[in-house]
Amino acid sequence: MNRVLLLLFFPIWLQAQVTDSIASRIVLDTDVVVAAKKGFDVKRLIEIVQADTVFEQAFHRLRSVPYKSTNEFHFFSRKGKEKASYQSELIQKEVGNCVEMTILSEKATGNYYKRKGKHRYYTAKMFERLFYHKGKHCPKLKPTTPPDRSRMENYVQQLKKLIYNPGKEVEIPLIGHKTAIFDKKMIKYYDFKIQSRRYKDDTPCYVFTAIAKPNHPNKTVIKYLEMWMDKAELGIISKKYHLKANTFVFNFDIKMDVDLIETPKGIVPSRIDYDGAWKAPTKRKEIAKFLLLFNY
């Protein structure tokens, strides 16, 4: 019985140890120090950051809620010259228990498409799979067993997880354990701080930041993570992050800036800003910038 209890409570105890370790080394600005003296719980904020699932759920919710979006994609050569672009406006409506996506307008330039309208850029194809589902789509109420995938497809699925939820471990050779920045073995490679700042709409926020130390570049994949939480509810309203790695599986250098908004259907992204480059085996290196804006 004691062993069972140990197995149940060990993860909780371990997380508490990590929280204490981060709290002991975190840098607080003057306003946060004053707030802490008045009762603000710094450890509670750290626990929210560690346990965050809101961000990932917000991405997944895009597949089941009505919205209208405008989208810009730009692809560049290694010298910075634009090779292709794509602009579109689309709408997703509820149809019974399903949703249906319709493209209202679109314009492509350069070599964005191959012949027969197929994607030339794997990055565009992946982001379309991440955020869009053309035509009618009926979200499954119960999870299904995923089909057998190739090794590369499995790695792409794990890369999705890294983009959806930076800070959690992923199953990609040579980098997976490095993405778990709140693991006890990883926190020594980061500087942490909490600041009191105002969000773009003037909302008072606490901003949690983790910055990789420059003297161990090969020990980290998440180089920068910034999470904005409103002071009233400690709800996450924005996240910025920089992911960088160079392995035989993936070579990427990606920066993302994502804003969230609360709707009657739940918390969803209102803006996704991507700037980065990545290369997968058998694929050419792709350098791109995306801006996706959503209205609900």
pTM beyond 0.95: the answer is: no
Q: Residue 285 — φ and ψ, nearest 5°?
A: -65, 135
The mean pLDDT of the chain is 86
CB 82 within 8 A of CB 76: yes
Least confident of 111-115, 166-170, 177-181: 166-170
Distance, CA of 128 to CA of 108 (rounded, Å): 15
Q: Where are the domains of the chain?
A: 11-139+147-295
Distance separating alpha carbons of residues 129 and 138, to the nearest angstrom:
15
Of 15, 59, 46, 34, the residue nearest 227 (C-alpha): 46
pLDDT in tens, 185-215: 999 999 999 999 999 889 999 999 999 999 9
β partners of residue 248: none
Sign of the torsion angle spanned by Cα atoms 198, 203, 206, 212: negative
Task: Report percent pLDDT > 90 for the chain.
Answer: 58
| Confidence band, pLDDT 50/70/90 cuts, at residue 13 | very low
CA-CA distance, 191 to 224, in Å (whole number)?
10
Please give the pLDDT value at position 197.
97
Flag whether pLDDT at 295 surpasses 70. Answer: yes
Residue 12 banded pLDDT, cuts 50, 70, 90: very low
Query: Is the pLDDT score of 9 beyond 50?
Result: no
Q: What is the dihedral of CA 274, 277, 279, 280, to 10 degrees?
A: -10
What per-residue confidence (pLDDT) applies to 279? 87
Query: What pLDDT sits at residue 120?
Result: 92
> pLDDT confidence of 3, banded at 50, 70, 90?
low
* Three-class secondary structure assignment of the chain: CHHHHHHHHHHHHHHHHHHHHHHHHCEECHHHHHHHHCCCCHHHHHHHHHHCCHHHHHHHHCCCCCEEEEEEEEEECCCCCEEEEEEEEEEEEEECCEEEEEEEEEEEEECCECHHHCECCHHHHHHHHHHCCCEEECCCCCCCCCCCCCHHHHHHHHHHHHHHCCCCCCCCCCCHHHHCCCCCCCHHHEEEEEEEEECCCCCEEEEEEEEECCCCHHHCCEEEEEEEEECCCCCEEEEEEEEEEECCCCEEEEEEEEEEEEECCEEEEEEEEEEEEEECCCCCCEEEEEEEEEEC
Q: What pLDDT shows up at residue 166?
A: 85
Residue 149: predicted pLDDT: 63
Asked if residue 8 has pLDDT above 50, the reply is: no
Backbone angles phi, psi at 198, to 5 degrees: -105, 135
Least confident range from 3-17, 182-196, 211-225, 278-292: namely 3-17
What is the distance between the terminal CA atoms of the chain, rounded to a whole angstrom? 51
Q: For residue range 69-83, list pLDDT tens digits in order.
A: 999 999 999 999 999
Looking at residue 140, its pLDDT comes to 67
Question: Does residue 75 contact residue 110 with C-beta atoms inside 8 Å?
Answer: yes
**Residue 210, pLDDT score:** 96
Return the pLDDT at 32. 96
171 or 50, greater pLDDT: 50
Q: What is the mean pLDDT of residues 289-295?
A: 96
Report the range of poorest mean pLDDT among 7-16, 33-42, 208-217. 7-16
Question: How does pLDDT run across 243-258, given as a tens digit for each residue?
Answer: 999 887 778 999 999 9
